[in-house]
Amino acid sequence: MSNNEEVRWTSFTDKEGNGIIVVAKETFSASALPWSEQELILAAHPHELPSSSGAHIHIDAAVTGLGGNSCGQGPPLEQDRVKAYSRSLGFIIRPVVREDYRAKAKVTVAGEMPLSIVRSKAGEVQIGTERKEAQILYQVGKSKSIIYKEPFRLREGGHVTTWYVDNPQIKTSVHFPKIETVPLTVVSASSEENGENAKFLVDGNPNTI
């Protein structure tokens, strides 16, 4: 039931050894639970958990370790803390038959890398890819396409489309609504992590959390 970090591959099989295997492009975080997160939160004690509705599988880029100044001797070590910034995750799902997962794990993720488009709460749009030194074009609405060099502001909202210069068939499109927020300020906090500041919670920059 525990969460596992830096996983290269993980398999989920039944009593006959049939199921699936998930093979990472690099590594990922994985867990399998007989209950959903909501069911675990709503149950104050183990005997209050409902009958299992099935296996709830979680595949994540990473999960922050437990710990904090409010309970314990401080936050997790720096290498065990997952900061809020855009990241990509690649993996392959293959069938497993009669426990042949070791043979199925011998595969390498290949092919063109997808493009990602994310926007911060402050309205800053960032386009990303794992493909090194790639030239990327993007278009906002029906405006002229532009070579992507750095993040840009888009608080008013709009439709953003991006693609590779040398492979326009690989496209990603995202529609962002207009950002309508009221400025917030952190007045006080009951506790803060070492080296952190509670005011960053509402600064609209996910990299400071």
> How do residues 91-139 score in pLDDT, each as one tens digit?
999 999 999 988 999 988 777 888 999 998 788 999 998 888 899 999 9
The reported pLDDT for the residue numbered 64 is: 87
Mean pLDDT of the chain: 87
pTM score, two decimals? 0.66
CA distance 63 to 96: 26
The reported pLDDT for the residue numbered 75 is: 76
CA distance 139 to 129: 16
Looking at the chain, how many residues does it have?
209
Distances in Å between the alpha carbon of 176 and those of 100, 122, 161?
44, 12, 11
21, with CB counted inside 10 A (0-12, 13-18, 19+), is: buried
The reported pLDDT for the residue numbered 203 is: 72
Instruction: Check if the beta carbon of residue 105 is closer than 8 Å to that of residue 161.
Output: no
The reported pLDDT for the residue numbered 160 is: 97
The reported pLDDT for the residue numbered 186 is: 81
The reported pLDDT for the residue numbered 208 is: 66
Backbone torsions φ then ψ of 47, nearest 5 degrees: -70, -10
Which pair of structure tokens corresponds to residue 205?
């920059």
CA distance 70 to 193: 8
The reported pLDDT for the residue numbered 159 is: 97
- pLDDT less than 70: residues of the chain: 1, 69-73, 182-183, 193-195, 204-209
